[in-house]
Amino acid sequence: MSNKKKYTGVIVPAVTPLTEKLQLDETAVQKIFAAFYQNNIAPFILGTTGEAASLPLQVKKDYVQAAEKNKKMGSLLYAGISSNVLAESIEFAAFCCLHAVDVVVATLPSYYALTEKQMLRYFTTLADNIALPLFIYNIPATTHMSITLPVIDELSRHKNIVGIKDSERSEERMQRSLQLWKDRDDFHYILGWAAKSADALLLGADGLVPSTGNLYPEIYADMMTAFKNSDKEKLYAMQKLSDDYGALYQSNRTLGESLHELKRLMHKKGLCEAVVMPPL
């Protein structure tokens, strides 16, 4: 992790806190963000953990505006703009640009299987038409496609594409990715696979995106401190805690079921209601 890089550290994919009427719970946003900032963590709203694919546009806009209201001075705010409609992603990126979002994040459209050429064209067109820096988001668990490393490497030369958030569960892919990009000051690799957080940091990853940070952000603050202090024993002790707490809501559940269970645990901590959007 280079000191010259901008998009680094712990970036928690925030849940979308909802009321019983399926509206944004702004009081819960304030609580969740306060816990993040207390632990020097940046929020990433409207990602997979945030149920973004199931949210009405108005709820998405409400979340961006609530995030703007609660944003800590000097911090970075990440927001997902993924859609199966390219124009919608471009329009939502423009909205984010007006409301204190610093970086936008996008997956592939997920209905049609795409060729590598189509993947390249999609992200290039998106990056060409938005004002904010763009992170590519690779998550085969939901898009059912993997963005190959050669495609990402070619896209990494685009002046508006600043990094990859990779949630594909492959150690070989993680190692090859870091060999390609860890020494690039203009391109960032952040890992969305919490079980390999410690390993990724030691290999040169720029950041982590752990959903369990919604529940216990202090684990990842301590993990980063241990890494910076070259304290491997503490680093892997925090990895063990991450694994144990992650298992509380993820073990033997589908991704959708785990998001509901995560909110149930957050409700027990007084952070938000245990309400998820249909169909979850």
11-54 residue pLDDT tens: 999 999 999 999 999 999 999 999 999 999 999 999 999 999 99
Asked if residue 274 is part of any domain, the answer here is no
Distance from C-alpha of 53 to C-alpha of 55, rounded to nearest angstrom: 6
Asked if residue 14 is part of any domain, the answer here is yes
Instruction: Provide mean pLDDT across the span 257-268.
Output: 98
pLDDT confidence of residue 4 = 83
The CATH number of whichever domain residue 59 belongs to comes to 3.20.20.70
pLDDT confidence of residue 30 = 98
pLDDT at 130 over 80: yes
Distance from C-alpha of 201 to C-alpha of 222, rounded to nearest angstrom: 13
Phi, psi of 187 (to 5 degrees): -145, 135
Judge contact between 194 and 246, C-beta under 8 A. Answer: yes
Instruction: Provide mean pLDDT across the span 144-156.
Output: 98
Asked if residue 1 is part of any domain, the answer here is no
Tell me the pLDDT of the chain averaged across its residues.
97
pLDDT at 280 over 90: yes
Asked if residue 134 is part of any domain, the answer here is yes
Instruction: Provide mean pLDDT across the span 202-214.
Output: 98
pLDDT at 270 over 80: yes
Distance from C-alpha of 32 to C-alpha of 34, rounded to nearest angstrom: 5
SS (H, E, C) the chain: CCCCCCCCEEEEECCCCECCCCCECHHHHHHHHHHHHHCCCEEEECCCCCCHHHCCHHHHHHHHHHHHHHCCCCCCCEEECCCCCHHHHHHHHHHHHCCCCCEEEECCCCCCCCCHHHHHHHHHHHHHCCCCCEEEEECHHHHCCCCCHHHHHHHCCCCCEEEEEECCCCHHHHHHHHHHHCCCCCCEEEECCHHHHHHHHHHCCCEECCHHHHCCHHHHHHHHHHHHCCCHHHHHHHHHHHHHHHHHHHCCCCHHHHHHHHHHHHHHCCCCCCCCCCCC
Instruction: Provide mean pLDDT across the span 77-87.
Output: 98
How many domains, in total, are found in the chain?
1
Distance from C-alpha of 17 to C-alpha of 33, rounded to nearest angstrom: 11
Q: How confident is the model at residue 241 (pLDDT cuts 50, 70, 90)?
A: very high
Asked if residue 273 is part of any domain, the answer here is no
**Among the listed residues 266, 214, 165, 164, the one whose alpha carbon sits nearest the alpha carbon of residue 49:** 214
Asked if residue 2 is part of any domain, the answer here is no
Asked if residue 105 is part of any domain, the answer here is yes
pLDDT confidence of residue 1 = 60
Asked if residue 199 is part of any domain, the answer here is yes
What's the N-to-C CA distance of the chain in angstroms? 37
How many residues belong to the chain?
280
Instruction: Provide mean pLDDT across the span 230-250.
Output: 98
Distance from C-alpha of 133 to C-alpha of 90, rounded to nearest angstrom: 12
Place of tokens 């569960």: 169
Question: What percentage of the chain carries pLDDT values higher than 90?
Answer: 99
Tokens for 103, please give them.
């970086």
The whole domain housing 235 covers 9-268
Tokens for 122, please give them.
């999609």
